[in-house]
Structure 1
Amino acid sequence: MRNDTRLVFNAYLKQVALLNTITAATEKFNVTPSIQQKLEAAIKESSDFLKRINVIGVDEQEGEAIGLGVLSTIAGRTNTASNPRTPRDVSNLTKDSYSCKKTDFDTAIPYKLLDAWAKFPEFQAMLSAAITQAQALDRIMIGFNGTSVAANTDRDANPLLEDVNIGWLQKYRLNAPERVMSSGSAPGKITIGATGDYKTLDGLVYDAIQLLDPWHRRRPDLVVLVDRDLLHAKFLANIEGASDNENELAAARIIANATLGGRPIVDAPFFIERGIMITALSNLSIYWQTGARRRHIKDQPEWDRIADFQSSNESYVIEDYGLGALIENIEEADPSAPVDSAGAKS
């Protein structure tokens, strides 16, 4: 680390210590609640997807889901001559619970990168942004791919952070399997095409909406989270005429305005391959425990880097299982396969 970099980095350490009312950020400390709140807000704001779901602090490490943004029908009428009016308790709709698991977000930043940033007046903001953005992307990846909570995670065996926490999709597999479609006429896959289980992705999504509770099926905020590769055949004709340097822009524009089964598509980062989820984004939550974030910033000259050790207790929550459905193992049908007597669903 250059001398001028050392000066601005030391100023950063002093600022972190000042904000958390501690003597030194180079010793492990408990992040103060107000700074934790600001850090969580920064993590959320760094991702367009996280802005659209619930990211909320909870006091207890374990408890029942809060039911944010989830409502059932409440309209009705009571003959008060014989019965009292009984308000609908919407808090009873949620069936999920949460358990915030300790998650380490440890970031290493090489001296060379710090040296490159040191000349900028916004050095502290750049360093903080790099750390918060990494945490935001990891949270999204865990939410869609997490299947277990390992005592010792293995990044090589689980490159999509599958063993860090139990994510939203796994919650459906474990707790609401009746709302998961994973097989069609052939075990272990759902086929799309003239000879498949469904002729089109639209037909599949339209049918899967019936897995939602009746009062949620026509909600105006229902969206479809989908693996982009599944959209290839559907939108290929719309973009293949564009020149190479226009393809990505054309694809992004088409997806942004497209629908499946009559519902808007959300192009979610790190969504599972060959999968679709139908829900409202307000049904997806990340809970973090207030007062449980720990931090330790350490200079590691033996590695020519600084390390920012952070940990947070958090959980991935489905607010109402009736407001969602998961479809996975989607494949293109073999065009040479015979069509059964019922034929593929449109």
Structure 2
Amino acid sequence: MKEKTKKLVAAYAATVAKQNGVEDATEKFSVTPTATQKIIAQMRESNWFLKKINIVTVTNQKGEALGLGVTGMIASRTNTKAGKKRKTKSVFNMEAMPYMCEQTNFDSHIRYDQLDAFAHLKGFNAIISNQTREQIDANKITIGFYGTSCAPDTDAAANPNGEDVNKGWFQGIRDNNSNAMLNKGSVAGEIRIGEGNETKGLGDFINLDLAVMNVKGLLGDVCANDADLVAIIGTDLLSYDKAKFYAEHGNTPSEKAGIEDKQVIGTYGGLPAFAVPGFPATGILVTSFKNLSLYIQEGSIRRSVAKKNDEMDQIDNFESMNMAYVIEHLEKVAAIEFDNVKLWLDGDWH
């Protein structure tokens, strides 16, 4: 690392130390409440999906969902002239999902030669700070959909999507409301989407619309018609449906224009459809964005930054926080077991 770069890195570490009221930011320190809110704000800005869901701090490491958002019928009328008293209704009278904020580490490094390469650029501190932030936040989303367990020692090779880092929202359904998880069709362990045939077997849902409608049908009655429901759909399913549409209407100019304008994937099963980064390619999740939460325990964020590692020619950055993926209203979420989905392609199920 060049002398100019060393000075810039030292200045960056000093700035972080000042912001958090510590003497040396290269040694582990607890992030202040103000800095925690700044990190949360950066998370929201890094990805449109994180901007739509709840990201909140909680006091206790273990507890039950806060019940953010309101669902169900509150409106009523009481004839007080007849001596009846008006009665309030709970805005959260459903079964609460338990949560446990598990420590999650986001440790990274930046090579000396990389630092030297952008030492001449303006905003050096911001470059270092943001170098891995976007990927860290993308990881949080992926774990939220794929996470199934919390292993003491994670194995990235065996679990490339962070399956063993933390329990995500899909696992929250499996553990707390398994009836809302569609996991099989006519064939055990398979959910077939497409026409099929008599020889290879017929599909459970002839198209994606029907699949989404059936997933929506697993919602609790009190939530089934909520106006903020959406369908989050995997890219393989969207591509499959889009390819079928091209095959049927691709030569019709007006229909082809609709595809290019992405109007074709605008709604499925009567719900607005979204493709979320990090979402399973064959997954379907019906809920509202505000029914999904990421809880961060207060005072749990710890960092050390710009720690020189001359043996590896890099600076090391360590960050950890206690996190939990929470479903606010269990009755307001339903999904398909994405690993069980089979698509009708080239005359067979894949």
* TM-score of the superposed pair, with normalisation by structure 1: 0.89
Query: Deviation at 1:130?
Result: 1.9
Match of 1:231 in 2: 238
Trace 1:207-218 onto structure 2 (pairs within 5 A): 207-218=214-225
Q: Which residue of 2 aligns with 1:163?
A: 164
Pick from 323, 326, 330: which aligns with 2:341? 330
CA shift at 1:16, angstroms?
0.5
Larger CA deviation: 196-205 vs 324-333: 324-333
Partner secondary structure for residue 12 of structure 1: helix
- Give the whole-Å Cα distance in 1 for the aligned partners of 2:65 and 2:260: 34
Residues 39 and 132 of structure 1 are in contact (CA less than 8 Å); yes or no, is this contact kept in structure 2? no
Report % sequence identity.
Answer: 40
Change (3 A) 1:94 1:50: farther
Q: Secondary structure of 2:232's partner?
A: strand
What is the alpha-carbon distance in structure 2 between the residues aligned to residue 94 and residue 38 of structure 1?
32
CA distance in structure 1 between the partners assigned to 2:215 and 2:317 by the alignment: 44
Does the 8 Å contact 1:43/1:135 carry over to 2?
A: no
Cα distance in 2 for residues equivalent to 1:336 and 1:34: 58
Q: Structure 1 residues 223-232 or 143-152, which shifts more?
A: 223-232
Aligned counterpart for 1:276 among listed residues 278, 284, 303: 284
| Whole-Å separation in 1 of the counterparts to 2:302 and 2:260 | 39
Name the residue aligned to 1:306: 315
State the superposition RMSD in angstroms. Answer: 2.2
The question of 1:59 aligning with 2:54 is answered no
1:26-175 equivalent positions in 2, closer than 5 A? 26-80=26-80, 81=82, 83-175=84-176
1:230 alignment partner AA = L
Distance in 1, Cα, partners of 2:263 & 2:334: 21
Once the two structures are superposed, what CA deviation does each residue of 1:142-182 show, in whole Å capped at 9, x if it has no partner? 10000001111111111111011000001101111110101
Give the equivalent residue in structure 2 for 1:198: 205
CA 1:229–1:335: 2 relative to 1, 3 Å: closer
Residue 246 of structure 1 corresponds to none
Displacement of 1:191 after TM fit? Answer: 1.1
Distance 1:37 1:225, change over 3 A: same
* Deviations 1:213-264 (CA, angstroms, capped at 9, x unpaired): 223222222111111111223112666899xxxxxxx988527952111211
Instruction: Supply the distance in 1 between the matched residues of 2:25 and 2:327 (Cα, whole angstroms).
Output: 36
Count of equivalent residues: 330
Work out the CA distance in 1 between the residues paired with 2:155 and 2:259. Answer: 35
CA distance in 2, matches of 1:303, 1:287: 35
Shift of 1:135: 1.9
Q: 1:252 to 1:37 in 2, by over 3 A?
A: farther
Q: 1:334 offset after TM fit, Å?
A: 7.5
Against the structure 1 CA distance between its residues 6 and 256, is the aligned structure 2 distance closer, same or farther, given a 3 Å change threshold?
A: farther
Could you tell me how far 1:123 is from its partner in structure 2? 0.8
Q: 1:266 aligns with which of 274, 279, 285?
A: 274
Q: One-letter code of the match for 1:61?
A: Q
Secondary structure at the residue paired with 2:9?
A: helix
> Could you say what secondary structure the match of 1:207 adopts?
helix
Q: Which residue of 2 aligns with 1:247?
A: none
Residues 251, 112 of structure 1: alpha-carbon distance in 2 compared, 3 angstrom cutoff: farther
Q: 1:258 to 1:88 in 2, by over 3 A?
A: same
Counterparts of 1:316 and 1:221, CA distance in 2? 20
Is 2:190 aligned against 1:182?
no
Secondary structure at the residue paired with 1:215?
Answer: coil
Q: Residue 233 and residue 7 in structure 1: after superposition, are their counterparts in 2 closer, same or farther (change >3 A)? A: same
Alpha-carbon offset, residue 279 of structure 1: 0.7
Unaligned runs of 5+ in 2: 196-201, 251-257
- Equivalent position amino acid for 1:46 in 2: S
Q: 1:170 to 1:47 in 2, by over 3 A?
A: same
Q: Report the Cα distance in structure 2 between the residues aligned to 1:176 and 1:237, rounded to whole angstroms.
A: 33
TM-score for both structures, normalised by structure 2: 0.88
Secondary structure of 1:307 counterpart: strand
For the 8 Å contact 2:78–2:85, the answer to whether it is kept is yes
Q: 1:116: how far off?
A: 1.7
Q: Is the 8 A contact 2:242 2:264 kept in 1?
A: no
Q: Distance in 2 between matches of 1:88 and 1:143?
A: 32
> In 2, are the aligned partners of 1:196 and 1:334 still within 8 Å (CA)?
no
